[in-house]
Structure 1
Amino acid sequence: MTAQAIQLAGASVTFDPAWLGENEAWALFEALYAALPWERHRIKVYGRAIDAPRLSCWIGDAAYKYSGTVFEPHPWPAALAPVRERLARELQGDFNSVLANLYRNGADRLGFHRDSEPELGPEPLIASVSLGATRRFRFRARQGEGTLGLELSHGSLLVMSGATQRNWLHAVPPTARTVGPRINLTFRHVAPR
C-alpha cells in the first residue's frame, strides 16, 4: 500500500489515492451500482426522523444500529469478496460489515458526524473505498477549530483508526458542480448484538 499519513492531531488517518486500479475500480462500481438493493434509510437528525440525502445498503454479518434505527444486513455480494480480503490482509482488520452509500449527484451528501456507535468499539478501524465521481471529504475537530479537506478520487482508500472518531467529525458536503454518481464503501467490524 502506498498510503500517506494525514496530519490530524489526536487521529490516525492514512490516504491512498490509487488503492484500486482504474479498471478494477470501474468493474466494482458497475457491479455494485447494478446489483445492490439501494434504499433510502430513515435517520434521526437533531431528534427528527428524515430520509437520508443519499441511497444506502447495509451489508455484512451483523445488524447495525445508527441514528436511532437498526439495520439488518444484506448478504455479501461476490464482487466485494476480493476487496474485503485485501483490506483484511493489508490492515490486519476483521471487517464483518460494510455500509455502501450511493451519491447520485452533487446534491446527495453526508453531514458532519462520527462513527461512535458502541458496537464499533472505542477505537474503530474504518476503511473507506471510493468509486466513481471525485467528492470532497471534510474533517472538523470536535473541539477547537481544526479542519481539513481531501478529494476522494475513484479507487482511493481512506483509513481512519485509533482516536480519530473520538476527536474528529467527518462529512461529504453537497456541491454545486455537476458530478456523476459515486459509491462509497465503509468497511468496519461490528460486534454482534
Structure 2
Amino acid sequence: MMLQGSLLDQVDEVGVRPLTGAVRRTVLDAGSWVDLRPGWVTGSDELFARLFLGGPAGVEWRGERRQMWEREVQTPRLLRFYGEGETLPDPVLARARDELSAHYAAELGEPFRTAGMCLYRDGRDSVAWHGDRHGRSSRADTMVAIVSLGAPRALLLRPRGGGASTRFVLGHGDLLVMGGACQRTWDHCVPKTGQPVGPRISVQFRPRGVR
C-alpha cells in the first residue's frame, strides 16, 4: 500500500519546527515521562519518500532473522542502524539529532549519537513489547527520541511486567521522546493492525551505549 500524504504537511521545505514551548510532557510515574511534539518535521512526507526509496538516495533497508524460543524467525519490519560517525541518509536527520541534543542537553547531559531506523511496510509489520535496555539504559536513566514519518501507527506503553497501557498515535513528522527511567521500568510496542494502513518509518535517536 502506498503512503497517503497529510494535508497538514503540504510545505515546500523539509525541516524541523521549534521544540521550546511546543513539547507536551506526560508523566508516567515518579521517574518516567514521555514528551510529544506533533508535526515536528515539516515536509515529512517528502522526507519519508527520500528514505523509503532506498538505494543511493535513501536507506539500504535490511531484513533480520532473530531467535525466538526454539526457532529462528524473520523480523516483521525492515531495519537499518546508523552508528556513531556514520553519515545519516539525509541532512535533515542530522539537523534533527542536533536540535534534540541542544533541547535536552540540561536533562540528558550528553548528545544523541546514533540513529536506528525501522520500516513498517503495512499493518502486518510490528514490534513486540520491549524496552531499550541493552547497554547503559539497563541501569541508568536515558532518553530515546522517536521521529515518525509516513502513515500514523499506534505506539503503546505499559509498566514493565504488564498493566494498563498508554496509547499514542504517531505519524507525519511527530516526535515522541521517552525519558527518565522509562526504558528500565516501562515497555513499548507497535502492535499489528488489521486496518488498511500505509507504510511508516520510525527513526530512533539514542545516546552513546544505548540500544
Provide TM-score, normalisation by structure 1. 0.84
Secondary structure at 1:61 match in 2: coil
Aligned equivalent of 1:14: 35
In the aligned structure 2, how far is the partner of 1:144 from the partner of 1:170?
A: 11
Match for residue 102 of structure 2 among 89, 93, 110? 89
| In structure 1, distance between residues paired with 2:99 and 2:193 | 32
Equivalences, count? 179
Supply the distance in 2 between the matched residues of 1:55 and 1:112 (Cα, whole angstroms): 17
- 8 Å Cα contact 1:60/1:76 also seen in 2: no
Match for residue 4 of structure 2?
A: none
Matches within 5 A, 1:107-122: 107-120=124-137, 122=140
Following superposition, the deviation at residue 156 of structure 1 comes to 0.5
Instruction: List alignment gaps of at least 5 residues for structure 2.
Output: 1-18
Compared with structure 1, are the counterparts of its residues 76 and 153 closer, same or farther at alpha carbon in structure 2 (3 Å cutoff)?
A: closer
Q: Whose Rg is larger?
A: 2
Give the TM-score, by structure 2 length. Answer: 0.78
Q: Which residue of 2 aligns with 1:71?
A: none
- Residues 30 and 144 of structure 1: CA distance in aligned 2, closer, same or farther (over 3 Å): closer
Q: 1:135-178 deviations in whole A, cap 9, x for unaligned?
A: 01111111462311111121111001111011110000011111
TM-align CA RMSD: 2.0
**Distance 1:14-1:114 versus aligned 2 partners, 3 A rule:** same
Task: Give the secondary structure class of the aligned counterpart of 2:41.
Answer: coil
Unmatched runs of 5 consecutive residues or more in structure 1: 63-73
User: Aligned partners of 1:53 and 1:145: how far apart in 2?
Assistant: 25
1:1-193, aligned counterparts within 5 Å?
Answer: 1=19, 2-9=22-29, 10-21=31-42, 23=43, 25-34=44-53, 35-46=58-69, 48-61=71-84, 75-79=87-91, 80-92=93-105, 93-120=110-137, 122-143=140-161, 145-191=163-209
Equivalent AA in structure 2 for residue 5 of structure 1: R
